[in-house]
Amino acid sequence: MAGVATITKVKTRHEVLAAVVVTLLAIGVAWMLSGGAARIVKVQVDGRPVWVRAHRPTVAGAVEASGVRPHDGILFSALSHRRLEPHYRPVRSRVGDKPATLRTPIREGSRIAFHNGVDAVEPVIQRRVQVAGVGLPAVEDRIWVADQPGYDEVDVGERSGEIVARKSVAQGSPVHPEAKPVVALSFDDGPDPRWTPMVLDALRAEHVKATFCLIGFMAQRHPELVKAELADGHTLCDHSMHHILNLSSRPHSQIIDEVDQNADVIRSITGADPTFYRPPGGSLSNDVVGVAHQRGLRVLKWSIDPRDFTKPPAPVILERVITRVGPGAVILLHDGGGDRSQTVAMLKALIDQLRAKGFSFYNWQ
């Protein structure tokens, strides 16, 4: 038995020795794969000596060691100088006389140079635009019409659409409140993938045009619905980027972002700026109105709000509109922001009853 015990002990030692050898080999292989011991190389970054410590030195290591902060050139808008494109003119880097990236290897004596991208302001182009006429109020809560529209020549940012300068070419006739039995339907807080198609189907079946007030981040998610609204001949309206209810009390820069970013989104989808800006919750200030007008947007509120966003039954929504309707009314409804089944359910009856009263439907297009 003693012999057997001795043999077992010897095997255990051999196993331990083998395990140690395997471990050392693994460490050696890993060390070799990692490039061996870290080394220090002296290079030049934009003419200054820099020491880089790494297993495999690269341009990225030289950037970190030097504290240099290469940056791309930014494209700014023509008027508000918003950032339109942060990487408009990318930074260029070279190692010696060859183009390089952050991953490019470097060695002792490498000469690294960066050429930062130059910031730029978007080009300004001239357009001729139709205007409603003389005397249009700063905020429209009903339909205003002119017998003869006017035309302006505007200098606008090519990418942003910001109006830099404006000159009247033809004033047009004075505007006046619509006195005929005409109303305008408007829908807020979309586009919504469930409710907006139902609203579009109902309007299409009744040959009615409306105004859709879009939230920017929803438009980004559902550009196909924005295109469908435009294809059906509806008017598009900027309802801010994120639907901030107290936007009028926010800083000027945030107001610009909320109004202009959404207009940018709509323009990127459709190729044209929206016609109107509608304030979330009706929250307005001179600053908000000024920012919207500077972007070439008319400010649209409403004259009838049946508060369908609180989800009352369809007959209640219908009654709240019919009992208050009059010539030139702008009717506020919703196709987004929650369950809009009751709004959808009463829409055909609303159109039918308005027509029975002699009303037609206004289209700003």
DSSP, res 62: H
The C-alpha angle 171, 211, 330, rounded to 5 degrees, equals 75
- Identified catalytic residue from 152, 308, 334, 335: 334
Are 223 and 230 spatial neighbours (Cβ–Cβ below 8 Å)? no
Give the distance, in angstroms, between the CA of residue 165 and the centroid of all CA atoms in the same chain: 25
Tokens of 339: 């369950």
Tokens describing residue 258: 């909320």
Is 188 noted as a catalytic residue in this protein? Answer: yes
Among 188, 189, 257, 308, the active-site one is 188
Residue 117 phi/psi, 5° resolution? -70, 140
Rounded-to-integer distance, Cα 160 and Cα 323, Å: 42
User: At 20, which helix (H) or strand (E)?
Assistant: helix 2-33
- The helices-and-strands tally (H runs, E runs) of the chain is 9, 21
Structure tokens given for 46: 């934009």
Place of tokens 């080009």: 123
Q: Which residues contact 148 (CB under 8 A, 6 or more apart)?
A: 133, 172, 173
Sign for the CA dihedral angle at 82, 87, 93, 98 comes to negative
Give the H or E element holding residue 100: strand 98-100
334 is catalytic: yes
Catalytic residues: 188, 334
